[in-house]
């Protein structure tokens, strides 16, 4: 034999072309195709099928099989088998030492057979493998732990290149392991995000649920019932009421208890922006539409697509802008500022205003057609002075909120609660919250007594019956703003503390000490001493 004739798979000394070199080129191209298949999709099932297809088409490795470890049973489940006819389903399982796949499970290592028939444990349960051809099984590991097995069968009989092919399959198994690790991390992150989303949805539903809203008066129960009914539909809602009555809270409750709760609730205060900015905020703008518009921007209507748009203070928009609002409410379409493309959106509108829109329509300040478009389902929120019986419960709710911010427990005395019930509350719940927060700041021990309740002006209801040694004070939600039959507390009631008796007398006397002294049968000097020793702050009106 000539000394330059190659033996087995060795290349000639002159560097002539050989089978090993040709195989390496083929496997390198196949490895590139495998890496592309693994990076093409985050769907692990689809990715594995693509990898086995590439091994068949590009590397000449047919009948690829991937089995995945079941952590509960400790067995390998057949995940995917790819044959020349396409992928097939297989529900076989392999335990440790069971078949060639089970041998890899028992002791994670590469197994390569020149002929499948040479190994007694070559089971070929699915009947897709040819016993006369080679067989390669390689462990798939993640962080050193076995997660599965990759098995393939070369299409050609053993040609002395089984080791090269086995090394290539090991590289592919390593890439699959990295992809599996990424898929597991993504799946875990997705699961965590879904749990967090569901938790947030439950929290939001509880926070904005109708059952959690404060107010047990008949007028508020009627409002809640109406809001609960309209929440189920896509009906436009117009919430009417004075400033500070909780119109936004009702809007939140309607959205988060509606079929649109999975999508966004977008808010916009129409009174907070000038008209030129309001149009861009609502409808968005195209790049270059005006100075400073360096890029296109979605407006609130597009952001709220599929959800709800809450337009607060809708009564403050100008008549010219009302015409632009009317079109989108009627047709559900608009153009961005500076654009010509018509955009259609699916948005539910909840509007709110403190204005008397009927009068505004009569005066020509508000379009009549827009008013009727908005006023499909009106909800009227009563002012706080018309539901005095809700004040104690609202006060406790607000104190809990303030206490959470201050990280301490706040309590309200009965006398302080009665003083709150005697106020007219022109600022409604917002004024009540400010009053309680002021009192909480002034309280050293977390208890809010009557002397810490301060109002910016003397708008308290007082009894019209003078020189009575009793004080008309609503208790426990039994009073209302018009009732003249409020229960009266006798200043001589032995259950009252001395401080409460003095403050009650001062309240009745309009904080005139001489008059309060006469009610209590004291001298002005004596009541002044009591005020000082009981640490009562005198109100100035």
pLDDT tens figures, 226-276 = 999 999 999 999 999 999 898 999 999 999 999 999 899 999 999 888 887
| Residue indicated by tokens 């208790």 | 475
Query: Same domain, yes or no, for 349 and 392?
Result: no
**How many CB atoms are closer than 10 A to CB 25?**
10
| CA dist., res. 493 & res. 419, Å (int) | 18
pLDDT, greater one: 199 or 148: 148
Q: Read off the pLDDT band of 469 (50, 70, 90).
A: very low
Predicted local distance difference test score (pLDDT) of residue 478: 33
Predicted local distance difference test score (pLDDT) of residue 432: 93
- Cβ proximity of 266 and 303 under 8 Å: yes
Predicted local distance difference test score (pLDDT) of residue 530: 82
Asked, for residue 474, whether it belongs to a domain, the answer is: yes
What lies within 8 Å, CB to CB, of 421 at 6+ separation is: 388, 391, 392, 473, 474, 475, 479
| CA dist., res. 38 & res. 30, Å (int) | 12
pLDDT value at 470 more than 70: no
Query: Same domain, yes or no, for 372 and 443?
Result: no
pLDDT value at 466 more than 70: no
Query: Same domain, yes or no, for 150 and 39?
Result: yes
Asked, for residue 170, whether it belongs to a domain, the answer is: yes
Can you give the residue range of the structural domain that contains 300? 210-382
Neighbour-count burial of 497, counting CB atoms closer than 10 A to its CB (0-12 exposed, 13-18 middle, 19+ buried): exposed
CATH of the domain at 266: 3.40.50.300
Predicted local distance difference test score (pLDDT) of residue 206: 66
pLDDT value at 210 more than 60: yes
Neighbour-count burial of 273, counting CB atoms closer than 10 A to its CB (0-12 exposed, 13-18 middle, 19+ buried): middle
Inter-CA distances, 320 with 79, 164, 279, 339, Å = 65, 78, 11, 19
pLDDT, greater one: 122 or 460: 122
What are 510's two structure tokens? 């309009």
Predicted local distance difference test score (pLDDT) of residue 408: 93
Asked, for residue 196, whether it belongs to a domain, the answer is: no
Asked, for residue 220, whether it belongs to a domain, the answer is: yes
DSSP 235-301: --EEEEE-TTS-HHHHHHHHHHTSTTTTS-EEEEEGGGS-HHHHHHHHH-B-TTSSTT--S-B--HH
Q: Read off the pLDDT band of 522 (50, 70, 90).
A: confident
Q: In the chain, what percentage of residues exceed pLDDT 70?
A: 86
Predicted local distance difference test score (pLDDT) of residue 448: 92
Highest mean pLDDT among 78-87, 391-400, 484-493, 528-537: 391-400
Inter-CA distances, 380 with 2, 85, 216, 242, 354, Å = 106, 70, 16, 9, 10
Dihedral sign, CA of 423, 427, 428, 431?
A: negative
Query: Same domain, yes or no, for 275 and 401?
Result: no
Q: Read off the pLDDT band of 462 (50, 70, 90).
A: very low
Q: In the chain, what percentage of residues exceed pLDDT 90?
A: 28
CATH of the domain at 398: 1.10.8.60
Point out the domain boundary residue: 137, 169, 185.
Answer: 185
Point out the domain boundary residue: 382, 403, 424.
Answer: 382
Neighbour-count burial of 439, counting CB atoms closer than 10 A to its CB (0-12 exposed, 13-18 middle, 19+ buried): buried
- Cβ proximity of 161 and 147 under 8 Å: no
| CA dist., res. 324 & res. 279, Å (int) | 9
Q: pLDDT per residue over 402-449, tens digit each?
A: 999 999 999 999 889 988 988 888 889 999 999 999 999 999 999 999
Q: What is the mean pLDDT of residues 385-394?
A: 91
Query: Same domain, yes or no, for 421 and 513?
Result: yes
| Residue indicated by tokens 């392991």 | 177
Q: What is the mean pLDDT of residues 290-310?
A: 90
Query: Same domain, yes or no, for 313 and 413?
Result: no
Q: What is the mean pLDDT of residues 344-367?
A: 93
What interhelical angle do 391-406 and 414-421 show, nearest 10? 120
Structural domains counted in the chain:
3
Asked, for residue 203, whether it belongs to a domain, the answer is: no
CATH of the domain at 113: 3.30.450.40
Query: Same domain, yes or no, for 228 and 276?
Result: yes
- Cβ proximity of 331 and 218 under 8 Å: no
Asked, for residue 538, whether it belongs to a domain, the answer is: no
Strand partners, 150: 66, 138
Query: Same domain, yes or no, for 302 and 338?
Result: yes
Query: Same domain, yes or no, for 300 and 312?
Result: yes
Asked, for residue 259, whether it belongs to a domain, the answer is: yes
pLDDT, greater one: 462 or 358: 358
| CA dist., res. 198 & res. 113, Å (int) | 51
Query: Same domain, yes or no, for 147 and 30?
Result: yes
CA–CA–CA angle 19, 22, 28 (5° rounding): 135
Query: Same domain, yes or no, for 393 and 334?
Result: no
| CA dist., res. 312 & res. 141, Å (int) | 58
Q: Read off the pLDDT band of 376 (50, 70, 90).
A: very high
| CA dist., res. 124 & res. 292, Å (int) | 70
DSSP 385-407: GG-GGGHHHHHHHHHHHHHHHHT
Asked, for residue 347, whether it belongs to a domain, the answer is: yes
| CA dist., res. 219 & res. 82, Å (int) | 69
Point out the domain boundary residue: 359, 382, 405.
Answer: 382
Query: Same domain, yes or no, for 217 and 70?
Result: no
What are 535's two structure tokens? 């640490």
């Amino acid at each position: 034999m000539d000394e330059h004739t190659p033996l087995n798979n060795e290349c000639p000394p002159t560097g002539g072309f050989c089978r090993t070199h040709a195989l390496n080129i083929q496997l390198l191209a196949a490895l590139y195709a495998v890496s592309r298949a693994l990076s093409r999709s985050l769907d692990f099932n689809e990715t594995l099928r693509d990898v086995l297809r590439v091994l068949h088409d590009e590397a000449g490795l047919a009948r690829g099989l991937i089995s995945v470890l079941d952590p509960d049973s400790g067995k390998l489940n057949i995940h995917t088998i790819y044959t020349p006819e396409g992928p097939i389903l297989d529900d076989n399982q392999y335990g440790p030492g069971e078949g060639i796949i089970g041998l890899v499970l028992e002791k994670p290592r590469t197994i390569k057979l020149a002929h499948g028939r040479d190994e007694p444990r070559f089971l070929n349960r699915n009947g897709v493998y040819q016993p006369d051809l080679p067989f390669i099984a390689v462990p798939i590991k993640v962080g050193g732990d076995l997660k599965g097995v990759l098995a393939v069968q070369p299409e050609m009989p053993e040609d002395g290149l089984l080791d090269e092919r086995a090394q290539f399959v090991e590289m592919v198994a390593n890439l699959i392991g990295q992809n599996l690790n990424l898929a597991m991390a993504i799946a875990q992150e997705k699961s965590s995000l879904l749990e967090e989303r569901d938790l947030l949805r439950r929290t939001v539903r509880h926070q904005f649920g109708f059952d959690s809203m404060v107010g047990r008066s008949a007028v508020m129960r009627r409002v809640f019932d109406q809001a609960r009914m309209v929440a189920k539909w896509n009906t436009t809602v117009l919430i009417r009421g004075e400033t500070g009555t909780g119109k936004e809270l009702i809007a939140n409750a309607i959205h988060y208890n509606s079929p649109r709760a999975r999508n966004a609730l977008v808010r916009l205060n129409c009174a907070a922006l000038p008209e030129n900015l309001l149009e861009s905020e609502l409808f968005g703008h195209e790049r270059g539409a005006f100075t400073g518009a360096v890029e296109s921007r979605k407006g609130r209507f597009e952001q709220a697509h599929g959800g709800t748009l809450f337009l607060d203070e809708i009564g403050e928009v100008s008549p010219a802008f009302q015409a632009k609002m009317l079109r989108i409410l009627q047709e559900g379409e608009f153009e961005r500022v500076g654009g010509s493309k018509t955009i259609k959106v699916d948005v539910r509108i909840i509007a709110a205003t403190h204005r008397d829109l009927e009068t505004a329509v009569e005066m020509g300040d508000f379009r009549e057609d827009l008013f009727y478009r908005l006023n499909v389902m009106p909800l009227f929120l009563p002012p706080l002075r018309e539901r005095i019986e809700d004040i104690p419960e609202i006060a406790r709710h607000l104190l809990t909120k303030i206490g959470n911010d201050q990280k301490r427990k706040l309590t309200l005395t009965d006398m302080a609660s009665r003083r709150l019930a005697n106020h007219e509350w022109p600022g409604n719940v917002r004024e009540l919250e400010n009053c309680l927060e002021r009192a909480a700041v002034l309280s050293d021990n977390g208890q809010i007594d009557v002397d810490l309740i301060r109002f910016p002006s003397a708008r308290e209801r007082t009894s019209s019956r003078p020189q009575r040694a009793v004080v008309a004070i609503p208790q426990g939600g039994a009073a209302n703003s018009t009732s003249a039959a409020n229960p009266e507390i006798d200043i001589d009631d032995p259950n009252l503390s001395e401080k409460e008796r003095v403050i009650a007398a001062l309240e009745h006397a309009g904080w005139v000490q001489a008059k309060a002294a006469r009610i209590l049968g004291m001298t002005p000097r004596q009541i002044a001493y009591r005020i000082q020793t009981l640490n009562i702050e005198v109100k100035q009106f």
